Every structure is written in C-alpha cells, then in structure tokens.
Amino acid sequence: MGQVNLARVDERLIHGQVMVTLSQKSGVNSIFVVDDVVAKDKFMRDLYKNAGSRTGQKTIVVTSEKAKFYWDEYNFKDYNCILIAKTVSVIYDLVTSGVPMKELNIGGIAQKNPDEDLLVTKSVYLNKADAEKLKDLNENYGVQDIYFQATPSAPKTSLKDVLSKFGL
C-alpha cells in the first residue's frame, strides 16, 4: 500500500531546487501531480513528467478524479509520494473523498481577488474559504501538520498563525 508522504499546494507545481530537495524526503519514491488541465494536455503532461524525472522520482500526472480512483482501487500501489496540486480546493476534495495525508505544505499561491485574498506569508495569498478548508482538514480529516513554507530553507508559518489572521 502506498501513501502520501507529503502534500503540497503550489501553483508552480514542480519547479527547480524546491522539488529536488523535497523529493529527498525519507521514503519518497514518486511525485503525483494532480491537475485537471495539465493531465489533459499531452504537451504539459510530458513537460511536468520530464521536470519531475530530474528529481530521480517517478512522476505521475493525473486528474483529480483519477487520483481519487487510483487511491480507491489501488491505494496508490507501492507509491510513497509527494502529492502536488495548484489549489487548496483540490487537496480538500482529495482528502474529503478519502485520500489520507498527514502533512500539508502550502508553498505558493498568487493573489486572485484583491478584495478577498490576504497575504499570509511572503509567497501565499489565501481567502477565508480556503482558510476554513485548511482548518477543517486539520480538525476533522487527520491532516495533522499544515504549514506554510515556500522553500525548504524558509521559515515555517503555522496554520494557527494563519488562521488567526482570519479570526478563525
């Protein structure tokens, strides 16, 4: 049975030295990129598979539905993965559909709506709805360690500190 060793939200998905460093985490043997647009575009899918292969890990690019199916049917086989998505909503959907994960790193989210998005760390804008989803994952779905950290060498910001910015 496989598992999600680390989940990450980063709009850049796989990029540079960050993924190389993260992929060295103990027990990791694969990277799952979960993104509907990328998975349905052969050029983009191949681009991300190639970028992921530079880490030395098998890289699998799937839609959100395929990721859920792959967990339900095969428990990710023997893949101990880093699972990456562009949005909190995708991670929330996966976890609430039964894909277990204990550690979630929020690495990079750009501002979408200046009226709703709050800069919570140097590289992360978050709206209240996503903050509430993260709180729910932590309190009700077993995602024990949720933190904000753009790069492995950057300081971590706790979920508690971010939620306090929203009065949660």
Least confident span in 2-16, 86-100, 112-126: 2-16
Share of the chain above pLDDT 70, in %: 100
8 A C-beta contact, residue 69 and residue 37: no
pLDDT, residue 165, reads: 96
* CATH, residue 87: 3.40.35.10
DSSP string, the chain: --EEEEEEEETT-S-HHHHHHHTTSTT--EEEEE-HHHHH-HHHHHHHHHHHHTTTSEEEEE-HHHHHHHHHHHTTTT-EEEEEES-HHHHHHHHHTT--BSEEEEEEB--S-TTT-EEEETTEEE-HHHHHHHHHHHHHS---EEEE-SSTTSPPEEHHHHHHTTT-
Question: Looking at the 3D structure of the chain, how many domains does it have?
Answer: 1
* pLDDT for residue 28 is more than 80: yes
Tens of pLDDT, residues 117-149: 999 999 999 999 999 999 999 999 999 999 999
Q: Which domain holds residue 8?
A: 3-164
